[in-house]
């Protein structure tokens, strides 16, 4: 009987594919919807005048869904982006894991000056133009970081620093799907703003999908 000799590169690919399939089948998924996401109050425009068409609409409010209580390691060399475009922050809220570095690129033709007075992370990047991006900042403490621009008073943004790698944001209509989760019993949370955090217990089993919706009854 003639034996088959598989190329080593093909054998390696098959092993990786089988391992990935095993990991995928061993992970859990939570999906659902947040019934109501609060709309932020309108921000003052200030004295800075923009030409017609320059000002984009602010990013749509979303909720941050995250798993609390699951074991995890600190973020490695992870970089996230909170850019400024159309004289708005590109994200309503940017969730990151503790230890993540964040870059703040300016995509507009005028100066921006991003700063925060939050206890979680206090900083002032100074004025910079397109292509003059300041160094990335490392966020090493969990909590809420509120962002502003010293020049454009209407600009608002949030960085939510979490002690977990298991998080996602909802769509604008509140739907979410959080995958790659470890089996076990945890709390699933929905961060809507600093005053509103919804919470629900969840038991996850390997390879299964759990359906969970958030409403006012889940208020923390």
| Total domains in the fold of the chain | 1
What's the mean pLDDT in 170-175? Answer: 94
Tell me the pLDDT tens digit for each residue of 195-216. Answer: 999 999 999 999 999 999 998 7
Check residue 210 and give its pLDDT: 97
Q: Is residue 5 part of a domain?
A: no
Q: Is residue 46 part of a domain?
A: yes
pLDDT band at 3 (very low <50, low <70, confident <90, very high): very low
Check residue 220 and give its pLDDT: 62
Question: For residue 66, what is the domain's CATH number?
Answer: 2.60.40.420
Q: Is residue 116 part of a domain?
A: yes
Q: Is residue 112 part of a domain?
A: yes
Range of the domain at 17: 10-218
Which has the minimum average pLDDT: 46-50, 63-67, 113-117, 160-164? 46-50
What's the mean pLDDT in 28-40? Answer: 93
Q: Is residue 212 part of a domain?
A: yes
Please give, one letter per residue, the 3-state secondary structure of the chain.
CCCCCCCHHHHHHHHHHHHHHHHHHCCEEEEEEECCCCCCCCCCCCCCCCCCCCCCCCCCCCCEEEEECCCCCCCCCCEEECCEECCEECCCEEEEECCEEEECCECCCCCECEEEECCCCEEECCCECCCCCCCCEEECCCEEEEEEECCCCCCEEEEEEECCCCEEECCCCCEEEEEEECCEEEEEEEEEECCEEEEEEEEECCCCEEECCECHHHEC
């Amino acid at each position: 009987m003639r034996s088959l000799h598989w190329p080593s590169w093909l054998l390696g690919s098959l092993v990786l594919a089988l391992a990935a399939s095993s990991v995928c089948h061993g992970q859990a998924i939570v999906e659902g919807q947040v019934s109501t996401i609060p709309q932020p109050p309108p921000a003052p425009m200030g004295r800075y005048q923009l030409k017609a068409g320059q000002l984009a609409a602010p990013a749509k409010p979303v909720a941050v869904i995250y798993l609390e209580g699951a074991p995890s390691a600190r973020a490695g060399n992870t970089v996230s982006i909170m850019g400024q475009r159309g004289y708005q922050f590109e994200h309503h809220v940017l969730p990151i894991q503790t230890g993540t570095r964040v870059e703040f690129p300016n995509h507009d033709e005028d100066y921006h000056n991003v700063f925060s007075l939050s206890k979680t992370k206090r900083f002032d990047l100074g004025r910079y133009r397109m292509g003059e991006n300041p160094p990335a900042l490392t966020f090493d403490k969990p909590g809420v970081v509120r962002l502003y621009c010293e020049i454009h008073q209407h600009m608002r943004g949030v960085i939510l620093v979490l002690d977990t790698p298991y998080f996602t944001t909802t769509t604008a209509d509140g739907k979410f799907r959080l995958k790659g989760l470890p089996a076990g019993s945890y709390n699933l949370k929905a961060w809507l703003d600093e005053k509103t955090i919804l919470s629900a217990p969840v038991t996850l089993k390997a390879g299964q999908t759990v359906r969970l919706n958030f409403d006012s009854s889940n208020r923390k």
